[in-house]
Amino acid sequence: MLDELDSIYQYQPLWGKWKIDGLIGQGNFGRVYRVSHEEYGHTYTSAVKMISIPSQEQYKAAQSMIGDKNGTLRNYFHEMVQSLVNEVSILYALRGNSNILGYHDHKIIEHPDKIGWDILIRMDYVKSLGQYLNEKQLSRAEIISLGIDICSALDICAKHGIIHRDIKDDNIFYHEDGIFKLGDFGIAMKLSKDGWMTSMSGTPHYMAPEVYRGEPFDASVDLYSLGIVMYRLLNHGRLPFMPPYPGPICFGDSDEAFNKRMKGDPFPSPDQAGAAMAHVILKASAYRSEDRYASPMAMKRALKDILQNLTEAEKDELVTLQKEKDELATLYKLKEVTTSRPEQMTKVDQSEEELRHTLIKI
């Protein structure tokens, strides 16, 4: 078996013309590569997400669970491939919208000599919000624009009956034309007929309380997570209930902050938000879903009103931290949650200070 990091190279030129420039990112379920091709003196760039099914770990786990029979294993993993095609179908349905990460093409390749598939998805070449924050500080106007753009993306999702369920820094992208885009629909789901779903999946520290508790939820959980993203951007990179900046972060602070949020303790206002912006963020991330904005467009209108009333100096004020002081870079790697029961959730027990040392080693 080829190493998973190198296996994509056997398929180039991808779609007959795209050359792989290198690996640019990876997550729990896939790797993303920068690809390019030249034509009549112009260079075009895209990103390709590759998901290989099964991984070595998935194969070993399935083998120990259901045995060695090839037919049974193949059927098991084929169903997994079919579920992953869900992301492709969502991207296809949402294509052409400026605030959704652009989908261009896909290919599903079955291995001829063993059980396995490679799923290739070609998308816009963009930077994640985390990468963008490593390069520059964001102004107050840019943060509000981010909120407006993601609300526009969520409005499109709502029209298609889709809940994203994993709004976070890593799934918000910045395009060179100045637009923020929503991407990575790997765990997105269609709304049920009555508008509610009961499943827990996402990233714990951006997760709405009802999702964490395994209760029915609706599309307002995405507004909640967007509120948490904006809270951090206007609070020196720190989540609600974390020690005030620039004070030290101690072991256990993140767990304590998370528990307070899940219990419904009222959030303190983000330190750099100002009264009007704090009101929008706290409403979006209200503990009870009925206290949040009724729709993405309602939140978008509130953000646009704030932006219009800012002076030019207020719009240009840089509010995120400089790279060398960036609290965002000290966040621990949040574990994905795929269980349907809150008590089965893997506890996030690595403090920011521990991760600071880990990042230094990397």
Q: What CATH number corresponds to the domain at position 58?
A: 3.30.200.20
Tens of pLDDT, residue by residue over 237-274, are 999 999 999 999 998 999 999 999 999 999 999 999 99
Domain presence at residue 2: no
Q: Looking at per-residue confidence, does 6 or 168 come out higher?
A: 168
Which own/partner contact pairs does 99-103 have at CB distance under 8 Å and 24+ positions apart? Answer: 99/149, 99/150, 99/152, 99/153, 99/156, 99/179, 99/180, 99/181, 99/182, 100/153, 100/156, 100/181, 100/182, 100/183, 101/126, 101/173, 101/181, 101/182, 101/183, 101/184, 102/181
Confidence of residue 333 (pLDDT cuts 50, 70, 90): very low
Last residue of a domain, one of 123, 144, 168: 123
Residues 6+ apart with CB under 8 A from 84: 29, 51, 53, 119, 186
* Contact (CB, 8 A) for 172 and 229: yes
Q: Say if residue 1's pLDDT is above 50.
A: no
The answer to which of 250-259, 276-285, 314-323 has the lowest mean pLDDT is: 314-323
The answer to which of 160-164, 188-192, 295-299 has the lowest mean pLDDT is: 188-192
Q: Interhelix angle for 220-233 vs 140-159, to 10°?
A: 170
For residues 33-60, average pLDDT:
90
For residue 323, the model assigns a pLDDT of 64
Distance CA 167, CA 151 (A): 11
CB count in 10 Å sphere of residue 45: 12
CB count in 10 Å sphere of residue 96: 9
Same domain, 178 and 142: yes
CB count in 10 Å sphere of residue 252: 10
Residue with token string 């009103």: 305
Q: Looking at per-residue confidence, does 185 or 273 come out higher?
A: 273
Same domain, 99 and 148: no
Task: Output the average pLDDT for the chain.
Answer: 82
Distance CA 183, CA 3 (A): 27
For residue 306, the model assigns a pLDDT of 97
Last residue of a domain, one of 94, 123, 152: 123
Distance CA 118, CA 172 (A): 25
Same domain, 161 and 286: yes
Bridge partners for 32 per DSSP: 25, 49
Task: Give 280: exposed, middle or buried? Use CB within 10 Å, 0-12, 13-18, 19+.
Answer: buried
Same domain, 116 and 185: no
For residue 70, the model assigns a pLDDT of 66
Domain presence at residue 1: no
Same domain, 204 and 224: yes
Q: What is the largest CA-CA distance in the chain?
A: 68
* Contact (CB, 8 A) for 186 and 162: no
What is the number of structural domains in the chain? 2
Q: Say if residue 294's pLDDT is above 60.
A: yes
For residues 169-174, average pLDDT:
90
The tokens describing 356, both together, are 């600071």
Q: Say if residue 233's pLDDT is above 50.
A: yes
